């Protein structure tokens, strides 16, 4: 703020010219292509998850175990791809299609853990692991407790 007032007229004109030039010459995003890539890659993640569920269902009869094993496998795949550096490339290509599935959540937890591991196990990996996903977990737990309480009240007094 205070630097703007101390700039000379030429510097202000130069900044305005640069801002206009950069605004006019920045590439326009292709929204249809981005939407299609997100849809296709997100769909492929879902197809992979469904394939895993069906494959595990052939060997395990308990549906709860099948769902848990399928989810754990998808989390492992997301964490593994993050660990070898492939998930970032997929995310750059797919956009939101790679963020929405459970693999995106695994990436959000694994990526900071890998990035800060040089600071040590406790102050690096453990502290920074939930910087991105921690707020999602906190909101999910809080909102589920709130909805559960509302359901409990309605079922006791109304239902």
Tell me which H or E stretch contains 154. helix 134-157
Distance CA 96, CA 98 (A): 5
- Span 7-52, pLDDT tens digits: 566 778 888 888 888 877 778 888 899 899 999 999 999 999 999 9
Mean of all residue pLDDT scores within the chain = 84
Query: In this structure, what token pair is assigned to residue 143?
Result: 């909102």
> Which residues are CB-neighbours of 5 under 8 A, at least 6 positions away?
none
Residue 60 banded pLDDT, cuts 50, 70, 90: very high
pTM of the predicted structure, to 2 decimals: 0.67
Cα separations (Å) of 92 from 81, 95, 151, 154? 14, 6, 41, 45
Q: What is the DSSP letter of 7?
A: S
Domain ranges across the chain: 30-128
Least confident of 77-86, 88-97, 121-130: 121-130
């Amino acid at each position: 703020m205070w630097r703007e007032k101390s700039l000379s007229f030429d510097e202000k004109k130069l900044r305005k010219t640069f801002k206009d030039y950069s605004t006019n010459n920045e590439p326009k995003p292709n929204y249809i292509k981005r939407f299609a890539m997100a849809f296709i890659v997100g769909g492929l993640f879902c197809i992979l998850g469904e394939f895993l569920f069906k494959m595990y269902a052939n060997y395990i009869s308990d549906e709860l175990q099948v769902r848990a094993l399928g989810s754990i496998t998808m989390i492992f795949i997301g964490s593994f791809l993050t660990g070898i550096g492939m998930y970032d490339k997929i995310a750059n290509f797919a956009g939101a299609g790679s963020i929405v599935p459970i693999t995106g959540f695994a990436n959000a937890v694994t990526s900071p853990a890998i990035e800060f591991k040089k600071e040590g196990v406790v102050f690096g990996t453990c502290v920074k692991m939930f910087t991105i996903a921690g707020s999602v977990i906190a909101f999910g737990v809080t909102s589920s407790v709130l909805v559960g309480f509302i359901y409990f009240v309605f079922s006791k007094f109304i239902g």
